[in-house]
Amino acid sequence: MGASPRAVLARLDAARVRHSIAPGGFLSQYTGRVNPLIRDRDVDFLLYEVLHAEELCALPAFASHGRETFDPFIREARRLAREVLFPAYRPMDETPPRLKDGGVVVHERMRAMYPQLVALGLIAATRPEAVGGQQLPLTVSTFANAYLMAANLSAYGYVGLTTGAGHLIEAFGDAFLRETFLPKLYDGQWTGTMALTEPHAGSSLADVTTVATPAGDGTYRIRGAKIFISGGDHDLTENIVHMTLARIEGAPAGIKGVSLFAVPKHRPEGSALVPNDVAVAGVIHKIGWRGLPSLAMAYGDRNDCHGWLVGQEHRGISYMFQMMNEARLMVGLNAVATASVAYHEALEYARTRPQGRALNAKDPRTPQVPIVAHADVRRMLLRQKAIVEGGLALIATCARYADLAANGDAKSQQLLDLLTPVAKSFPAEKGFESNALALQIHGGYGYSSEYLLEAWLRDQKLNTIHEGTTGIQGLDLLGRKVVAGGGAPLQLLREEIERVCSSPGLDPAWTSATRRAFDRVVSLTMELGARGLSGDVEGMLLHSADYLELFSIVVIAWMWLAQAACALGKTDPFYEGKLSAAQYWIHTELPRVEQLAALCASAEDSYARVSPDAL
Amino acid sequence: MGASPRAVLARLDAARVRHSIAPGGFLSQYTGRVNPLIRDRDVDFLLYEVLHAEELCALPAFASHGRETFDPFIREARRLAREVLFPAYRPMDETPPRLKDGGVVVHERMRAMYPQLVALGLIAATRPEAVGGQQLPLTVSTFANAYLMAANLSAYGYVGLTTGAGHLIEAFGDAFLRETFLPKLYDGQWTGTMALTEPHAGSSLADVTTVATPAGDGTYRIRGAKIFISGGDHDLTENIVHMTLARIEGAPAGIKGVSLFAVPKHRPEGSALVPNDVAVAGVIHKIGWRGLPSLAMAYGDRNDCHGWLVGQEHRGISYMFQMMNEARLMVGLNAVATASVAYHEALEYARTRPQGRALNAKDPRTPQVPIVAHADVRRMLLRQKAIVEGGLALIATCARYADLAANGDAKSQQLLDLLTPVAKSFPAEKGFESNALALQIHGGYGYSSEYLLEAWLRDQKLNTIHEGTTGIQGLDLLGRKVVAGGGAPLQLLREEIERVCSSPGLDPAWTSATRRAFDRVVSLTMELGARGLSGDVEGMLLHSADYLELFSIVVIAWMWLAQAACALGKTDPFYEGKLSAAQYWIHTELPRVEQLAALCASAEDSYARVSPDAL
C-alpha cells in the first residue's frame, strides 16, 4: 500500500494538466470528479422552495419571465462557469496581466472568454429591456453570477464592473451619455471601471483631490491620480469608461464637493475614438484576483483628459451611495462563491482521503478510514457549509428585497439598506475562516500550490477590504442603519424573522433561541442609540465590530431557520444536511450573541483608552 | 496634497530595493524606520521581571551562566536577525530553492547566512558543554530564536531541524552515532531532518510503511518513500542526516512496530563519505517558508540505503514523543514570531498613515488623522498585541518549565506536558487571525505583494498543520493531557494560576474572573472525563476543538495577569500597554469560556450525527 512520492507528484502534475485543459468541466484534483462550484440542488432549493422566485413574476417588470426563463439562464451560466471559466482559473492566477507599451495585456484565455460572457447577456441581465437588458430579477442573476464567480472571479470582474458603470449612467447620466456610452457598455463593446480611490483617499473619499475644470463646452478637463483601479486597462475591448470621482474647481471641501464623471480611455470625436490622456502609471502586484489587473492611473498629464459630468455637480458621493447596496451585495456574493468552491473541494477530499482510524477502533491492521469519518473534520465541513449556504441564502434574500424595492416596495428598501452591511461583511470575514478550514482539511497538501485551496484563500482576503472595510460596515450598521427611521427597519426585520419562526414544525427551542437573540439585539440597539443621542457617539460605536458580529449571527440564524422550515419532514440527505447546519448554527453560534451584547453594553474601554505609544 | 500613484509606486519600489540590500537592518517599507521583529523591552520584561530567568542559574546545569551571558547571546542573535536574516527574507521568498542535477540548490543569501548562524552557536545552544553545547537555558535561547524566526523563519529552519536531529541522537543513539554523527550535527558541518511523513501516513504515523531490513552488520537497508521533508536536501553542507521512521521487517503493525533510524545522505566509509541511495523525488511548491525546501524523498531505489537504528527496535514513536514538547514549542514560537513581525509593521503603518477624521470632527478642511486614532484600528492592534505578547509569554513560561524539568523537577514536566498543546496551537490559530488583522490594517496596500503582510500570512498557515494539526492538539489536550495522573497536572496549573492571582494590587474583578473561568475548566474536565470513563469516548472528545479554545483562553488570561502583576503602579507607556492588553483579554475573551464550556457539556451533536452524504 501507500503511493510513492513520485506517484503523488505525478498525480499532482496530472491534476495541473487536467485543470488547465479540462474540456468538459473542471475535475477535482484529488479524485477526478467534478467540483460543482455551487451545488445545483441548493440553487433550486433557495430559488423555488425558500424564496419562491417565480412569485416575482407577478410584478409587471418581470411579467414576461418565469421558471422557464430563469432556469435556462442559470443553466447556461453554470455551463460556462464549469467548462470555460474554471479551467482558465489557474493559468490566469499564474500569469497575471502585464504592462506592455503603456497598456495592459490580459491572459489569452481571458480574451477567448470575454465574448462568451457577453453573449450570455450578463452585463445587462437585470437592466430594462428598453436599454437592451433582459429585465431578469436580481434574485435570479445572483445565482448565475455565483457560479461564474466561484469558477473565476477575475473573469467575472470585467463584467460586474461594466454593469456597475452602466447602471450609474443609466440612472444619473444625461441624454448624451445614455445614448453614446450606455449601449456600448451594456452590449460589452466597452467596459467600465469605478475610479474612486486615490493614494491618500481610500476609506476617506471626502479627501479626493482629482480636479475637474470646466472646459466651456459642457465637458471638463480632469487631472489627478487614482490607485487600485480594477480593470483600469486591458486589451479586451476598444474602450473603457472610468466612472471617476473628482472635485470641480472651487467646490466645497469634503464629500459635498465631490462630483462624478464619465472619463473614457478614448473619447468619441465624430465617429472616431481618440486617446483621452488617461495613462497607466503602474500595475499593482495583487495577491489574489490575479486575472483582473489593479492599476495606478494618471489623468490629464497632457491637460487633455475630457470628462463628462454624470448628474449634478457635487453629488457624486450620493450617486455612488445609491449604487452601493448592489455593489456590496456583489462583494458578499464573491465571498460566498470563493468559500463555496473551496468547501466542495474539501468535502470531496475528506470523503476520499484515507487517514487514521476511529477513536475506539485502534487495531492498526484495519484499513484507514476516509477523514470525513473523524468528528473534527465533519465539524470543519459543517461549519463551512453553514457559512457558505447561510451566506448564499442571505445574499439571495437581499437580492429579492432589491427586486421588490426597485419595483416600489419601500419596506424592502429599508430591509435591504439594513442588511447590506451584513451581506457584505459576513461572507467576507467568515468566508476567510471557511477558506482556511478548507485548506486545513487538506493538511500538508493544502499548503502546496499544486492544490488551489491557497489561491482561493488569497482571493478571499480582498473582500474584507474593498467596497468598504469590515470596520466601515460595522460603523454603517450601528451608526446609521439600525438607528435609521427611529428603528423602523429593525421592526421590519423582526416581522420577517417572526414569519419564519411561526413556520409549522420548527423546533420550539430553535425559534425561542432566535427570538431571544433578536430581542437582545433590539434592547442593545436602544441602549447604544441612547448613548449616542446623549452625545457619546464614540462610546456608542466603540464596539461596532462586536455589534456587527452579533447582528450577523442572528441574521444567519434566521437564514438557517428559513431553510430548516423548508427541509422539515423530508428524508433526502440534502434536507438532512440543511437541518444539521441549522442545528449547528443555532447551538454553536447563537449563544455567542448574549456574550457579545454584554461586551458591547459594558464599560470595556481598553482600546479606547490605550495611547498609541503603549501599543 | 496627495501622493501621485507614480510616487506611491516609486516608494514601493524603493522599499523593495531597501529591503533586499538594507545594510544596517530592515527598514519599515512605509516610514523607513526599523521593524524591531520582537520588542527588546518585552524580552527583558519577560526574562527578568516576569520569569526571573537569572534564578535558573541556581541550578547546577546553569551555574556558569547569568545575565552577563544571557544578554550577549540574545543581543548577537538580534543583531544577526535584523541585519542579515531579515533583509534576505524577501529574496528567499521570491526565489525558492530549485532542483538541479538531482539535488537542491538554495538561495545564495542562505549560503552566506548559514555559517553566521552556526557561528552564533545556535544549534547546540541548550545542549550540554560535554557534547559541545553552550548549556544555556531554553528560556533564554527561546528569545534568541524568536528574533531569528521573526526575521526569516526558513533560514532558522535549517538550524532548528539540526538541533532536533542531534538531540534525538544525543538522547537515544549508541556510542557510534554519538561519536560519528553527533559532533558533525552540533557543530553545523552536517544538518539534520525529521523524516516521518509518507504520502499515505501524515497524522497517522502508525501507518508508516518504509521498510528496514537487517543487513547482518548491525546496520539496516532502508526502502521507502517520504514526503514533506523540510530541508531534505540542499547544498549548504556536505551531509544531511535524516531521522527516519521505518518498520523493521516482520515488526508488529501500528505504532509499536515503528523504529527510528539515522539515515545519512552520504554514509561514512572509513574517512570518506559515499552516496547512500537517498534520492530527491521532487520539490513541493509550498505557499510559505519558501526559503526552506520541502521534499518528496525516495530511499533505497538501488537497495543501497544504509540506516543506523537509534535506540531500541520498535520504539521510534516513543522517542519522537519524548522530543515532541520541544518541537511543538518551536512551532508555537514560529507562530508568535510570524505574528510579531507583522504586528510591528501594522503598528508603524497605523501610526503614520493618515486617513479619515474623528467621528465627532467632521470638518473636511482639517487634516486627516493617522489611522491609529480610529478606535477600531486600535482594537485590531490591541488584539494583535494580546495574541503576540500573550503567546510569547506562554512559550517562554513553557521553556522555563522545560529547563526545570530537564533538571529533575517532575512538577514542571507535568505542567509542560499539559501546556504544550496550547503553546503549539494557540499561537498558530490566533496568530493567523493576528496576521490577517495586520494585513487588514494596511487596506489595499496590504493586499499587494509589495508589502510583506501577505507573505507572513502565508508563512503562518503552516503552523496549524505541521507537528500535529490543531485537531490533534485538541485530542491530545482533552483525551490525554488533562486526564493524566488523575488530574494532577490540572491541580498544578491551579497552583500556578493561584500564585499569580494572589499578587498584590491586581484588580479583584480580573482575578476572580480568571479563577471562575479556571474552576469552570476543572468542572467541565471532570464531566467530560466521566463521560469517557463510562465508555463514551466519542462523546467526551466531540467538542475537543472548543475545549482547546476555552482552555487556551484561560491560559492566556493567566499569562496576561502575570504580566499585569509586574506592570502595576508604573507609569511608562510600556506598562500601560501591558495593562491595556490584560484588560482587553480578560474583558473580551474570558467571558467566552462559560459559553464554550456550556457547548462542550451540551448534547449538541450536529456534526457527530450528520452523514457524509448530507454535507
What is B212-233 written as a DSSP string? EEE-SSS-EEEEEEEEEEETSS
Smallest CA–CA distance, residue A115 to chain B, in Å, is 29
Handedness of CA A561, A567, A569, A572 (dihedral sign): negative
**pLDDT greater than 60 at residue B20:** no
**pLDDT given at position B601:** 97
Q: What is the 3-state secondary structure (H, E, C) of B530-576?
A: HHHHCCCHHHHHCCHHHHHHHHHHHHHHHHHHHHHHHHCCCCCHHHH
Using DSSP, state whether A442 is helix, strand or coil: coil
Are A155 and A274 found together in one domain?
Answer: no
Residues B411 and B327 in one domain: yes
The stretches of A219-373 forming alpha helices (DSSP H) are: 316-352
Interface touch B537/A359, C-beta < 8 Å: yes
**Whether A204 and A225 share a structural domain:** yes
Whether A487 and A582 map to the same domain: the answer is yes
Mean predicted confidence (pLDDT) in A129-158: 98
Q: At residue A1, does pLDDT exceed 50?
A: no
Q: What does the pLDDT read at residue B13?
A: 54
Confidence check: pLDDT of B577 > 90: yes
Write down the pLDDT at residue A25: 36
Report the C-alpha gap between B534 and B524 in whole angstroms: 15
Contact between A601 and A527 (Cβ < 8 Å): yes
Distance in angstroms (rounded) separating the CA atoms of residues B554 and A519: 30
- Give CA A459 to chain center in angstroms: 11
Query: Is residue B609 domain-resident?
Result: no
Query: Which ranges of A256-374 would DSSP assign to H, the alpha helix?
Result: 316-352
Q: With respect to residue A184, please indicate whether it lies within any of the assigned structural domains.
A: no
Among A304-308, B18-22, B312-316, name the one with the lowest average pLDDT.
B18-22
Residue A261, classified by CB atoms within 10 Å of its CB into exposed (0-12), middle (13-18) or buried (19+), is: buried
What pLDDT is attached to residue B363? 87
Q: d(Cα B308, Cα B263) in Å, to the nearest integer? A: 6
| Average confidence score pLDDT of chain A | 94
- Per-residue pLDDT at B10: 63
Q: Note whether B325 and B420 are same-domain residues.
A: yes
Q: Are residues A372 and A299 in the same domain?
A: no
End of a domain among B409, B434, B468?
Answer: B468
Q: For residue B5, what pLDDT band results from cuts at 50, 70 and 90?
A: low
Does one domain contain both A307 and A344? no
- B611 part of a folded domain: no
Interface test with A, best of B363, B602, B613, B615 (most A CBs within 10 A): B615
**pLDDT, position A4:** 66
From the CA of B297, how many Å to the nearest CA of chain A?
7
What digits encode the pLDDT tens for the residues B512-557? Answer: 999 999 999 999 999 999 999 999 999 999 999 999 999 999 999 9
Q: Are residues A446 and A507 in the same domain?
A: no
We report the CATH number of the domain holding residue A278 as: 2.40.110.20
Q: In degrees, to the nearest 5, what angle opens at C-alpha A337 toward C-alphas A334 and A341? A: 145
B552 shares its domain with B460:
no
From chain B, pick out residues whose CB is under 8 angstroms from the CB of A2.
198-201, 207, 209, 225
What is the model's pLDDT at position A7? 64
Backbone phi, then psi, for A203, in 5-degree steps? Answer: -65, -30
Pairing between β-strand A278-283 and β-strand A294-299 as defined by DSSP bridges: antiparallel
The H or E element spanning position A405 is helix A375-406
Report long-range pairs for A594-597 (Cβ below 8 Å, ≥24 apart): A594/A517, A594/A520, A594/B595, A595/B591, A595/B592, A595/B594, A595/B595, A596/A546, A596/A547, A596/A549, A596/A550, A596/A553, A597/A520, A597/A521, A597/A524, A597/A550
Residue A502 lies in a domain: yes
Same domain assignment for residues B77 and B142: yes
Classify residue B133: in a domain, yes or no.
yes
Domain count, chain B: 4
Query: Do B480 and B558 belong together in one domain?
Result: yes
Q: Crossing angle, helix A488-501 and helix A544-567, to 10 degrees? A: 30
B351 with A440: Cβ contact below 8 A: no
Quote the pTM value. Answer: 0.96
pLDDT at residue B17, rounded to an integer: 41
The answer to whether residue B145 scores a pLDDT higher than 60 is: yes
For residue B394, give the CATH number of its domain: 1.20.140.10
Whether A533 contacts chain B with CB within 8 A: no
Tell me which chain A residues have a C-beta less than 8 angstroms from the C-beta of B288.
447
Q: Does A462 touch chain B (CB under 8 A)?
A: yes
pLDDT band (50, 70, 90) for residue B359:
confident
Give the pLDDT confidence score for residue B30 in this predicted structure.
Answer: 45
Of B200, B436, B595, the CB nearest to A2: B200
CB contact under 8 A, A606 and B598: no
CB-based burial label for B106 (10 Å; 0-12, 13-18, 19+) = buried
- Average pLDDT estimate for A138-147: 98
- DSSP letter at B590? T
All residues of chain B having their beta carbon less than 8 Å from the beta carbon of residue A537 are 359-360
Share of chain A above pLDDT 90, in %: 92
Other C-beta atoms lying within 10 Å of the C-beta of residue B175: 7
Of A443, A468, A493, the residue that ends a domain is A468
Q: Tell me the per-residue pLDDT of A158-217, one tens digit each, with 9 for 90 and over.
A: 999 999 999 999 999 999 999 999 999 999 999 999 999 999 998 899 999 999 999 999
Q: What are the chain A neighbours of B457 within 8 Å (beta carbons)?
A: 461
- Give me the pLDDT at residue B9, please: 63
* Average confidence (pLDDT) over B40-46: 98
Say which residue the cell 490540572 belongs to.
B490
Same domain, A16 and A66: yes
Size of interface A-B (CB pairs under 8 A): 341
Q: Is B179 on the interface with A (CB under 8 A)?
A: no
What distance in Å separates residue A206's CA from the closest CA in chain B? 7
Predicted confidence band of residue B262 (pLDDT cuts 50, 70, 90): very high
How confident is residue B27, by pLDDT bands cut at 50, 70 and 90? Answer: very low
pLDDT number for residue A34: 80
For residues B417, B418, B423, B426, the Cα torsion angle rounded to the nearest 10 degrees is: 150
Give the pLDDT confidence score for residue A22 in this predicted structure. Answer: 34
Full domain range(s) for residue A156: 5-172
Least confident of A421-430, A588-597, B6-15, B134-143: B6-15
Sign of the C-alpha dihedral computed for residues B530, B531, B532 and B533 taken in this order:
positive
Is residue B181, in this structure, part of any structural domain at all?
A: no
Residues 355-374 (B) with a CB less than 8 A from some CB of A: 355-357, 359-360, 362-365, 368, 370, 372-374
pLDDT at B418: 98
Listed in sequence order, the residues at least 6 apart from B103 whose beta carbon sits closer than 8 Å to its beta carbon are B233, B235, B280
Range in A163-177, A211-225, A356-370, A505-519 the model is least confident about:
A356-370
How far is the C-alpha of A493 from the C-alpha of A515, rounded, in Å? Answer: 11
A447 in B contact zone (CB under 8 Å): yes
Percent of chain B exceeding pLDDT 70 equals: 95
Domain boundary residue, one of B426, B452, B468: B468
| A229 inside domain | yes
Residue A176 neighbours by CB under 8 Å, 6+ apart: A308
Whether the per-residue pLDDT at A232 is higher than 80: the answer is yes
- A255 reaches B (C-beta below 8 A): yes
**Residue at A352 is within a domain:** yes
Q: B380: which chain A residues are within 8 Å (Cβ-Cβ)?
A: 471
Q: Which of A470, A606, A611 to mutate to test the interface with B (most CBs of B within 10 A)?
A: A606
Question: CATH code at B64?
Answer: 1.10.540.10
Task: For Cα atoms A23, A25, A26, give the angle at the middle one, nearest 5 degrees.
Answer: 110
Q: For residue range A326-352, what is the model confidence (pLDDT) as tens digits?
A: 999 999 999 999 999 999 999 999 999
DSSP B350-365: HHH-B----TT---TT
User: Is residue A279 within 8 angstroms of chain B, CB to CB?
Assistant: no
